[in-house]
Amino acid sequence: MIRTIQRSGTAFAAVVLALLAAPAHAESGWHLLNMPVGVTELSKKIYGLHMMIFWWCVAIGIVVFGWMIWAIVAFRKSKGAVANTAMVHSTKAEIIWTLIPVAILVAMAVPSARVLIDIEDARNTELTIKVTAYQWKWQYQYLGTDVAYFSTLAHESNSARELQSGIDPATVPNYLLDVDNPLVVPAGVKVRLLVTAQDVIHSWWVPEFGMKKDAIPGLVNEMWFKVDADKTGRYRGQCAELCGRDHGFMPIVVDVMSREDFDAWLTARKAAVKQAAAAPSTSATIS
């Protein structure tokens, strides 16, 4: 018996070592163990909350698992343990292990409620973008302007993701996480998204922003984020609600620019729209 365990243990260790030694992927993922801290005001608070609950669980785990292991080690029949069959009930103990968890829950709930209230405070947003989900792409529309465009899976990824495409995903930059036209937003500005869908339910999720929100046909949902002013760059996410065949292939890319760069970008975009304005109808008919 013991030998079997040892043998399977060795075999498993060998497999793990072999995997670790395998030719490195485009980017190794072994270090990806935790939620990203993120780059927005809220994502950091959410990360803090996540870690707080995690450490509570570790602490409770030490007590509970410690107790289990102690009982298993200390009260073995093979070590001569004799059962105390009179120990069947203790009101005092049961009250204690009801009340202590309640206290811990309160300690968890209060900061969580605080963060929740912060999330709900959608005042003073400076820019509103309507995000409309389709099977299987996103449309971004800058409200108050005529700027609107679709964002779909980048061409290289799209070829490589065909069944038995023969293209090694490791050779494709940002495989499945790249789009033709990213969403562009300014850093340091409170941006509001109006999230909706045209066909089925989708969900807009960028982990570095700390949030996701479902895109539901016939319903408009609201979310906001404010990327730190110094955190310009490119952030990636994916549709997070099963939306049919290509659910895995409608990524989200957000280009976060400085305020000046963003203004320049938007002005250029508006000019381009005006030039292309052959048809007078705008807003919702843009396709």
Partner 1 sequence: MATHAHTDAVHDDHDHKPHGWRRWVFSTNHKDIGTMYLVFACTMFFVGGTMALIIRAELFEPGLQFVDPQFFNSMTAMHALVMIFGAIMPAWVGLANWLIPMQIGAPDMALPRLNNLSFWILPFAFMLLLGTLFVPGGAPAGGWTMYPPLALQAGDSFPMMIFAIHLMGASSILGAINVVVTVMNMRAPGMNLLKMPLFVWTWLITAYLLVAVMPVLAGAVTMLLTDHYFGTSFFAASGGGDPVMFQHIFWFFGHPEVYIMILPAFGVVSEIIPTFSRKPLFGYESMVYATAAIGFLSFIVWAHHMFTVGMPLAGQLFFMLATMLISVPTGVKIFNWCATMTRGSLTFEPPMLFALAFLFLFTIGGFSGLMLAIVPADFQYQDSYFVVAHFHYVLVPGSLFAIVGAVYYWLPKWVGRMYDQKLAKVHFWLSAIFVNVLFFPQHFLGLAGMPRRIPDYATQFADWNMVSSIGAFGFGFSQLLLPYIIIKCVKSGAPAPARAWDSAHGLEWELPSPAPFHSWETPPSAAVIARGAEH
Partner 2 sequence: MSEPREELRRANARLGARLGLMTLGSFAFGFALVPLYDVFCTITGFGNQKALAQASAVVPEVEDDSRTVTVEFVAELPTVGNWVFRPVQGSMQVHPGKLYQADFIAKNLTGHDTVAQAVPSIAPGNVAGYFHKTECFCFTPQKFSKDEERVMPVRFIVDRALPKHLDRITLAYTFYDQSIGTGS
Burial tier of 276 (Cβ tally within 10 Å: 0-12, 13-18, 19+) = exposed
Query: Nearer to partner 2 by C-beta: 73 or 117?
Result: 117
Residues that bind partner 2 (CB under 8 A): 120-125, 128, 130, 132, 143-144, 192, 194, 196, 198-199, 217-222, 281-285, 287
Residue 177: helix, strand or coil by DSSP? coil
Task: Identify which of 274, 275, 276, 255 has the alpha carbon closest to the alpha carbon of residue 265.
Answer: 255
Query: Nearer to partner 2 by C-beta: 166 or 218?
Result: 218
CA gap 213, 53 in Å, rounded: 22
Query: Nearer to partner 2 by C-beta: 100 or 220?
Result: 220
* Binding partner of 60, given partner 2, partner 1, Cu ion, none, CB within 5-8 angstroms per partner class: partner 1
**Residues paired with residue 112 on neighbouring β-strands, in sequence order:** none
CB of 145 to partner 2, least distance (A): 9
Task: Identify which of 220, 256, 219 has the alpha carbon closest to the alpha carbon of residue 237.
Answer: 256
Name the phi and psi angles at 98, rounded to 5. -100, -40
Q: Are residues 224 and 193 in contact, defined by beta-carbon separation less than 8 angstroms?
A: yes
Query: Nearer to partner 1 by C-beta: 15 or 268?
Result: 15
CA gap 129, 267 in Å, rounded: 16
Task: Give me the sign of the Cα torsion angle 259, 203, 201, 112.
Answer: negative
What residues from 145 to 204 belong to the interface with partner 1 (CB under 8 A)? 160-165, 167-170, 174-177, 199-201, 203
Query: Nearer to partner 1 by C-beta: 31 or 274?
Result: 31
CB of 171 to partner 1, least distance (A): 10
**Residues paired with residue 129 on neighbouring β-strands, in sequence order:** 142, 193
State the binding string over 222-241 for partner 1 (x if CB under 8 A, else -).
x--------------xxxxx
Cβ atoms within 10 Å of 49's Cβ, excluding its own: 17
Query: Of 21, 23, 87, 285, which one interacts with partner 1 (CB under 8 A)?
Result: 87
What residues from 180 to 209 belong to the interface with Cu ion (CB under 5 A)? 202
**In whole angstroms, what separates CA 122 from the centre of its chain?**
21
What residues from 29 to 68 belong to the interface with partner 1 (CB under 8 A)? 29-30, 32-36, 42, 45-46, 49-50, 53-54, 57, 60-61, 64-65, 67-68
Which residue has 């001569």 as its token pair?
80
Query: Nearer to Cu ion by C-beta: 189 or 200?
Result: 200
Binding residues (CB under 5 A) for Cu ion: these are 202, 239, 243, 250
